Structures are given as structure tokens and as C-alpha cells.
Amino acid sequence: MSVRDLLSPFTAWKNLFRDPVTIADPLNDRPGAPRYRGFHQNDMEKCIGCGTCETICQNGAIDMLPVEGIATKQGDSGLRPRIDYGRCCWCALCVDVCMTKSLTMSNAYTWVESDPDAYRFTPGVDKKHWDNAELGYHRPDGHQLMAKTRLHMGEMEPEARIESFAEIVEGYTIEQARLEADRCVSCGLCIATCPAHMSIPDYIAAVRDGDYERGLKLLYETNPFSGICGSVCTHKCETTCAARHDGDPIAIRWLKRHIMDQVSFEQCLAVVGHPGPSTGKKVAIVGAGPAGLTAAFDLAKLGHSVTVYEALDKPGGMTRWGIPEYRLPYARIDQDVDVIRSVGVDIRCNVRIGKDITLEELHKNHDAVLLALGLQLGRATRIPGSDHADVRKAVDLLRQATAYEDFGTPRQAVVIGGGNVAMDIARTLARLQKKQYGQVQVTLTALEDLSHFLADPDEIKEAGEEGVVILDARGPQQVVIENGQVTGLKTWRVKAIFDEQGRFAPSYDESDEQFHAGSMVVEAIGQMTDASLLGEALTEQLIWNRGRLQVDAGGCTSEPWLWASGDMVRGPDVVSAVADGHRVAKSIHEMIAVTEQAK
Amino acid sequence: MTQIEEGTVHGIDRLRGKTTLREILEVATGFEASARDFYNALIPKVSKRIRYLVEELAAEEQGHFDLLTNLAQRTDIAEQVKTEMERTASDSKFSDCLHLPNLGEQPDDQAVLQYAMGREHAAMHHYGELANTTPAGPIRDLFQYLASEETKHKLELEKIYYATIHRGGGV
């Protein structure tokens, strides 16, 4: 044995004094690359449970499941993605498509478990050591599968639109509508928000496919006022659209309108079909607005004989008499109403309950009576001078404008109010002034500051573009009258309209007084129902709930033959009135069925 | 205060400017009672759909009336209610509020709310002023409590007024 043989085993000892070439604890100490696509993370504050990740996953590795402690609410399904690492291929499409950027991938890649089922986990809920890892794969800015910006809908320029009452918006072309529809990920969060629960993702898909007949069928399944809603719906659905978290919400209302623009009246008639086989039962409906006519449509389709009584000379309710033509052309109302007529609904206009026919007669001659009255009376400020004949209510003027009545357009006018009705009358007056005097002189004052206006931001913007001077945070104090003529409105600055708790508690700066000149002052504040048709006796008989008729879930009042629906029960909103009309029709139909069974 | 001083005009004025807590309580109790009676008389006149409003207002005033009446009858504060104190401007303002308006035969919800808000606003100020000029003790606590109650009530009424009159929506 040589010396070399003896020493050679110890030559490796030299490595004791060198840096190691391997990792001492490879399970814990070897980080993934900074942009490695490792285990998932989900930010619970951002996730809305839209399920887009589940839809895009090619391997079926993601399931949307309810999670304890996370409630379903508007704009959040309450579901969260559970990932199955037995299926996941780490492609990161789920991260790329995530609408809120809540889903990311950490650079962690080691995880040891003895239970194979543990590899199905819900990121953000099941706590893991990589939850707070900062490195990993995050969707890069600018890398987005869906377009962020909604397709602009063409509209008339302010200078042109102020010249007439022609409709402002043009509607999408087919190409525009398809591009806009392409932005929708069909998550369906909008369905829960829509009061009528319209099949929004499905009809958007129909637009994408160019299948307008399918779109039309889907619209009429839930909304016989789709023409009207396509123009003036409050589109609450868009406030919960998943796309709004990283871009513009989908133009849902405009896509609905697009379907209606693409189909003919005859196609609408074909889709709604015929009334159901006659049941021999009769229902009277008071008020031909969206709630009353939706209920009439449903009941007629079920085979009941429905008569709608309308006090004014045309049906449509506040959609006709309260919304100016530049926002909602009357032809669109006529079409929706005519489709409803086609299923056998008998609409009798110029019939005033209490004058031409009594409620008792309706009760006596029908199996059920529905009140769908709307909010047709304007509230008054009752400030000094407000009882002058030239202090008018906005709802009255809008009604007169619809009827093309001359109410004496003032050269200068002041509007009180910050809601959509205030904008409607201000813009109506602006058009009339432009036509009659060649210039617009309308001042709009509101208690609220601009951020608390009830009007749609678009309405405020467009009113300003049309020359309406908008003054926010002004409290009306007095209508100034000189020599028997209204000369304007005196206001004080509102220092605060709400207290720290957000309650209405206006305080004024009396030193900041302004005078707004105008020969007419228009009050456009709250609205209420004219319930005088009920009469004293029935009013006493009915049960009321804090100023409103008490109704059950189906809209039935405390009198078993009388139902109430729409704005008078729910407050002003077209699509809510449509939803209410459906509910009430179902309730009336059930009552009739139960009564028949009992015989 | 001396006898000579009391004989002067200045002294008489000062004497007239003083009252006891019992007297103030009586005025305040009368104030609450008159409002309660006013609302109670209004209940059958208004439409059933807004009757809840007037009934709630009457109940509210009855609650304050009971509170003040019970307090005046308590023996443990009998000495305190005899305390003489400066008559405040609020004391007479209560009396001003006793002159109740004529709301007509069938007042609507807006008229009732406007009256009620005005009354709560006055009461809030008067009780606050009384609390500030009353010696520390249960009576001051009471006035502070009533001032706070009237403030809460006024805010609640303003909220209803705003929701009903300014933001629309109702029969």
C-alpha cells in the first residue's frame, strides 16, 4: 500500500474550505425565478367571484365554490376559485384573464403533503406560506385579453342637438356592437343586479353571433319594455359589471338597444306570439306605465282578459309624459305598447278613475284590480313666493311639452333640483328657448354639491354642454316677485347638506346670497302619487306602511282584490317597474288559480 | 341683594329676571303637552297614509311630557327644583312656541313635517340654553338629555323630509 493510497480518501477534505456547490436545504432555500408561475394567490379584497378564471381554464382545474364568511352581494357572487393541482398545467391563463387582478401566481413551487386531496385548495382562503410572496407571475400592465375601453356611441354635437328634440344618440352599428359584445366575459354578475334579471350575457352573446332573433327572444322573456329600456334604463347592471374593475363596464343598455334597432315590429309580434287560452277571468289595471303594462302583458299571455285604464290620452306612463323625446323617441314607446296590445291587452285612454268610472265598479266587474299609478305629482319647496302662478312643477311642464302645449316658454328660467327630472326640464326649456328666442338662459340650482347630484353624470354633462348653467350647493330661500311678476330666485350657499353621519342636516351661509334672474321658477324636487282616486273610505280601509300602501311580496294590498305596483310602491325606475309588473302578475294569476281550485 | 336695591327699577327687573327650576320645568312641561295635544288633535284630520307620522310625533312629545312630569314629582330633587336661577331667553321662547300654527283642515305630510322640524329646532336650542344656565345636577342632566333628544329627533325629521320631499318616491 502506497502513501498515496492512504491519503487519497482524505483529498476530498479540501472542499471543507470551499463554498458549497449544492444547496443545504433544497426544499426550503431555493427560490423560484422572480416571474416563476408557482402556486396561486388570490386577494380576497379584490376577488368578485366572476368565475372568468374557471371559464378559461383548459384543464377544468378551477371550480367556483362558496366560502364561509364571504356573502353574496351585488357585484360579488360570493364564490371563490378552488384550484386542483392534479389538473393545473400552470399556464397562467386564469391570471391573464382575471378581471380584477386579484389572482396571481407566487414563485413558490414546493409543497409537500401526504394527503392528495390537499392539493385542491382555495387560494386566499386556505392559508399557505406563499400567501404573502411578492415575487411570481402577475399579469403585466398593458397585457389584457379584453379591450378596456367601451365602444363610443355616436351622438349629435351640442350645437346641433339644442336645435331640436331629435334623439341624441345614434345607436351602434353592427360592427361596433360586435366589438363591444366581444368585451363581455359572460360572468353573469349583472343578472343579479338587474331588477328584471334579464339574460344579459346570453343576449350579448347573441349580438356577438349576429343572431338578433335569439337576442329578441331573450329580451322578451323578461322585459316587454326592451325598446324603452334600451334607451332610458338606469342600467344598474353596468355598475356591477366585472369589466369596470379594470376599464369601462360593458355598454349593456346600448347592446339591448342595438338588438331592438336590428329587428322589425313584425319580428317582435312573432316572438311574443298569441294570448293564452281564455280563462274567462278579468283583471283591471289602473295606469298604463311600465308596471301596469308589464303585468297586463303577462296576464294576457296567461289567458286572462285584461283592461288597462289610463287617465291621459296615450299610454306609456312617465316614460312618455316625463322623459323628453330627445332621450326617448315616442315611436319607441308606441312600438313597445303595440306589441303588448298584440297579445290582447285592451288599453283605454282618457278614462279617469273616480270620475269616468269608480274603483268600486272595477272591483265589482273584475276578479282583480291592480293600481300602477306612478309618481305624477311634483313636490313643492313652499319657500316664500312659491305659490305664484309662474312657479311651476317640472312634471307638469314635461307633460305639457309632450303634448306640444304652449306653456309660455320663459326667456329666462330658474330650475330647482339636481335629479334627472331637473335635467330633463332644464334641457327641454333650453331647446324651447333656443327655438323661440335664439338663446339659452336656464339656471339650475340644487341643494346638493355636484358629487351628490341624483342625476346621471351624462345628463349633467350634456345639460352643461347645451348651455344650462348648473349651480350646486345653493339652497332656495325665496322666489322674488316685483310688480306681481316673478323676477328670479334668491339662494344661500349650502355649507353642508349632510352631517358627519351622512344624515340630511343642511346648514347655510347666509352671507353668500345670490339672485338668479328668471321670469319662471321650476321646482323639480321630489314626486308623489296622486292617490285621491282611492277615496276616503278605501284609504281608511287599507293598511299603509310609512306613507306607502302596504303590499305583500306579490304586491297584494291588505284588500284581497287590490294589488299595487311600480313607482308608487318601489320608487321611480323603469326596469324596477317592469320587474314589479311581473311579480304582481304572478301573484294575481296564483290568486285566480287558488280561487278556481276552491270552487 | 339688599332691600334698597329691590326698591329700585333695576332691582325689580333683576327680580323679575329670576325664576325657579320648578317654574322652568312647568313651562317646559306645558310646551311638550301643547305639542302633544296639537298632534293628537291633528291625527283624525290627516289622511291615513300620513297618519303614522303625526302619531309618532305625538308619541314622542308624550314621552318628553312623562319624563318632565315624573321628574317634577321626585322627592329626592325637591330642593333642587326650588333653586332660583336667571331667567333665560329660552324660557320665554318656549312660550312663543306654544302659539301653534293653523295647518288647515287637512294638512299634508310636508306641512306637518315643516311644523315639526321648526318646533324641534326651537326646542333643541331652548333646552341647550337651559342646560348651560342650570347648576350641575340632575336637572341640568335632564335638560342636556332633552336637548340631545330634540337634536336627534330633528335630524330624523330632516332625513324624512329630504327623502320624502326632495328625493321623491312616495304616495
Three-state SS letters, A35-68: CCCCCEEECCCCCCCCCHHHHHCCCCCEEEEECC
Residue A499 to residue B52, Cβ atoms within 8 A: no
If pLDDT is split at 50, 70 and 90, which confidence band does B135 have? confident
DSSP string, A313-370: SSS-THHHHTS-TTTS-HHHHHHHHHHHHHTT-EEE-S--BTTTB-HHHHHHH-SEEE
Chain B CB contacts of A504 below 8 Å: 155, 158-159, 161-163
Name the residue facing A526 among B47, B53, B165 (closest C-beta).
B165
Residue with grid cell 312660550, as numbered in its chain: B95
List, in order, residues 6 or more apart from B1 with CB less than 8 Å away. B11, B14, B15
Q: Which amino acid is at A291?
A: A
Q: Which amino acid is at A196?
A: A
Over residues A529-565, the pLDDT tens digits come to 888 899 989 999 999 988 889 999 999 999 999 999 9
Residue A526 to residue B169, Cβ atoms within 8 A: yes
Nearest-angstrom CA–CA distance, A221 and A586: 14
Cα A28 from chain centre: 51
Q: What spatial distance separates the first Cα and last Cα of chain B, rounded to whole Å?
A: 62
Cα A153 from chain centre: 18
Residue B52 to residue A380, Cβ atoms within 8 A: no
Residue with grid cell 332691582, as numbered in its chain: B11
Chain A CB contacts of B50 below 8 Å: 547
Residue B171 to residue A549, Cβ atoms within 8 A: yes
Q: How far is A549 from chain B (nearest CA, A)?
A: 8
Does the predicted TM-score (pTM) go above 0.95? Answer: no
Is the CB of residue A581 less than 8 Å from the CB of residue A293? yes
Q: Of A443, A441, A421, nearest to A431 (Cα)?
A: A441
599 residues of chain A, pLDDT tens digit each: 788 888 888 877 877 777 777 767 766 777 889 999 999 999 999 999 999 999 999 999 999 999 999 999 999 999 999 999 999 999 999 999 999 999 999 999 989 889 999 999 999 999 999 999 999 999 988 788 889 999 999 999 999 999 999 999 999 999 999 999 999 999 999 999 999 999 999 999 999 999 999 999 999 999 999 999 999 999 999 999 999 999 999 999 999 999 999 999 999 999 999 999 999 999 999 999 999 999 999 999 999 999 999 999 999 999 999 999 999 999 999 999 999 999 999 999 999 999 999 999 999 999 999 999 989 899 999 999 999 999 999 999 999 999 999 999 999 999 999 999 999 999 999 999 999 999 999 999 999 999 989 899 999 999 999 999 999 999 999 999 999 999 999 999 999 877 666 666 778 899 999 999 999 999 999 998 888 899 989 999 999 988 889 999 999 999 999 999 998 888 788 999 999 999 999 999 999 999 888 87
Chain B CB contacts of A529 below 8 Å: 170-171
Over residues A174-191, the pLDDT tens digits come to 999 999 999 999 999 999
- Contact of A505 with chain B, judged by CB distance below 8 Å, is answered with yes
